A and B are shown apart, each in its own frame.
Chain A
Amino acid sequence: MHIKTHSSMLGRALVPSGRHRFPGHFLVALVTVTLFLFFCPAPTLLAQESPYIVTYDHYLEEPGSLEIEYFSTFGTQRNGNDFDAFWTEFEYGATAWWTSELYVAGQTTFNDSTIFTGTRWENRFRLLQREHVVNPVVYIEFENTNAADKILKEVEGHDVESDYAVPNGILRKEHDHELEMKLLLSSTFKSWNVALNPIVTKNLLPSEPWEFAYAIGASRPLALKASPNRCNFCRENFIAGVEMYGGLGDTQSAGLHDTSHYLAPVAAWNLPSDWTFRLSSGFGLNDNSHRLLLRWGLSREFAGFGELIGQLFGARP
Chain B
Amino acid sequence: MKHNFAFFRSFNRLRIATVGTIVLAFGMFAISQAPAQNQNDSLDKNKKSPYAAMAEAPEKAREKTNPLVGDSDAVAAGGKLFEQHCAECHGQKAGGTRHGVSLLRDEVQQATPGTLFWILTNGVVRRGMPVWSKLPEPERWQIVTFLQSLTRPSLTRQSLSGPSLMPKPASSQSETSEPRQPSEARDIPKVAAPQ
Instruction: Give me the interface of A with B, judged by CB distance under 8 Å.
Output: 43, 45-46, 48, 50, 57, 59-60, 62-64, 92-98, 100, 126, 129-131, 173-175, 177, 188, 190-191, 193, 204-205, 221, 224-233, 236, 272-273, 303-304, 306-307, 309-310, 313, 315-316
Report the separation of the CA atoms of residues A143 and B57 in the bound assembly, to the nearest whole angstrom.
41
How many residues of B sit at the interface, in one of the four size bands?
A: 35 or more
Q: Which residues on A sit within 8 Å (CB–CB) of B28?
A: 92, 94, 98, 100
* Known contacts A227-B73, A230-B192: A310-B29 contact under CB 8 Å: yes
Report the separation of the CA atoms of residues A231 and B29 in the bound assembly, to the nearest whole angstrom.
35
B126 within 8 A of A: yes
B33 within 8 A of A: yes
Q: How far is the CB of A100 from chain B (nearest CB, A)?
A: 6
Q: How far is the CB of A26 from chain B (nearest CB, A)?
A: 11
Report the separation of the CA atoms of residues A193 and B1 in the bound assembly, to the nearest whole angstrom.
43
Q: Which residues on A sit within 8 Å (CB–CB) of B142?
A: 225-226
Inter-subunit contact A304/B139 (CB<8 Å)? no
Provide the main secondary structure of the chain A interface.
loop
Q: How far is the CB of A62 from chain B (nearest CB, A)?
A: 6
Residue in B closest to A234 when the chains form the complex, CB atoms: B195
Q: Which residues on B sit within 8 Å (CB–CB) of A204?
A: 7
Instruction: Give me the interface of B with A, judged by CB distance under 8 Å.
Output: 1, 3-5, 7-8, 24, 28-29, 31-35, 73, 76-78, 80-81, 84-85, 88, 98-99, 121-131, 133-139, 142, 191-195
A-B contact pairs, 25 of them (CB 8 A): A45-B84, A50-B134, A64-B99, A93-B32, A95-B32, A96-B126, A96-B127, A96-B130, A97-B126, A100-B24, A193-B134, A205-B3, A224-B138, A225-B77, A225-B136, A225-B142, A226-B77, A226-B138, A226-B139, A227-B73, A230-B193, A230-B194, A273-B194, A307-B99, A310-B29
Residue in B closest to A50 when the chains form the complex, CB atoms: B134
CB < 8 Å A-B pair total: 138
Report the separation of the CA atoms of residues A174 and B134 in the bound assembly, to the nearest whole angstrom.
41
Inter-subunit contact A174/B1 (CB<8 Å)? yes
Given contacts A94-B32, A96-B35, A306-B33, 20 further A-B contacts (CB under 8 A): A45-B84, A46-B84, A46-B85, A59-B131, A62-B130, A63-B32, A63-B130, A95-B32, A129-B122, A130-B123, A130-B131, A173-B1, A224-B139, A226-B78, A226-B81, A226-B139, A227-B77, A229-B195, A309-B29, A310-B32
